[in-house]
Amino acid sequence: MEGRTVKYICPYCRKEMEIEVFDKVNAQEDPDLQERCASGDLFKTSCPHCKQDFMVQYPLVYIDTANKFILWLSQEEHPEIGNLTRPLIQQGYRLRRCSTIREFTEKIAIFEDGMDDVVVELAKYDSFIEFIDNKKGTAEEITSIEYQRCENEVMKINIRTGDQGMSFLIPVGMVEEEIAQNPELYEIRDDEIPLINSDWILSLFEESAGQA
């Protein structure tokens, strides 16, 4: 699958350069592009003038027919497209929007592992609460909370503070039981191409607390 060349202004030296962008990537049709998406390398570029390396995020549709999911990397919300998404949902596809490259690469890992991203986001939130309650650090010190992998029905979640990190092992079944206690709270609609991330999970608990 070929990309297209667009002009771009280097954020460091402000000189014009050219970068290659892709509107769509099919994981099964181009394994090389799939690997570059999963690692985030697809968005890495280097200025030919000042030699600075940096990331360039642009809208991209990522299709994985084997694992039945479609990701839309975009900071913009999608307009009403129910008629377009319905056939995909009927075929068993999960549809998600990702607002950042980090969310995009993590979502690929989650779905390639066969995981439910709602379960993963709740596991990340539970790890955050445990981190704070056990006084391992403050919320302000946390730079990222990341899904690493799932083995034997146990998720590994990493919480990073600067250049340090702490891992949490969260059983999938425990989180699924938590969701089963209030399934309406975690209900999502794939036809809206939802944004399932840390802001989403926080909004659920804020809304729930407001209704209490």
What per-residue confidence (pLDDT) applies to 151?
94
Q: 35: closest CA among 99, 91, 105, 86?
A: 105
Per-residue pLDDT averaged across 98-119, rounded?
A: 97
* Tally of CA atoms within 13 A in the half-sphere of 158 that contains its CB: 14
What per-residue confidence (pLDDT) applies to 57?
97
On whether the CB atoms of residues 145 and 155 are closer than 8 A, the answer is no
- 31-49 burial code (b ≥16 CB/10 A, e <16): eebbebbbebebbebebee
What per-residue confidence (pLDDT) applies to 208?
60
DSSP E strand stretches across 51-140: 53-55, 60-64, 69-73, 94-98
Per-residue pLDDT averaged across 128-143, rounded?
A: 90
Per-residue pLDDT averaged across 155-181, rounded?
A: 94
What per-residue confidence (pLDDT) applies to 2?
78
pTM of the complete model:
0.91
What per-residue confidence (pLDDT) applies to 77?
77
Report in angstroms the alpha-carbon separations of 128 from 16, 121, 133, 138.
42, 11, 9, 10
Q: 12-55, pLDDT tens digit by residue?
A: 999 999 999 999 999 999 999 999 999 999 999 999 999 999 99
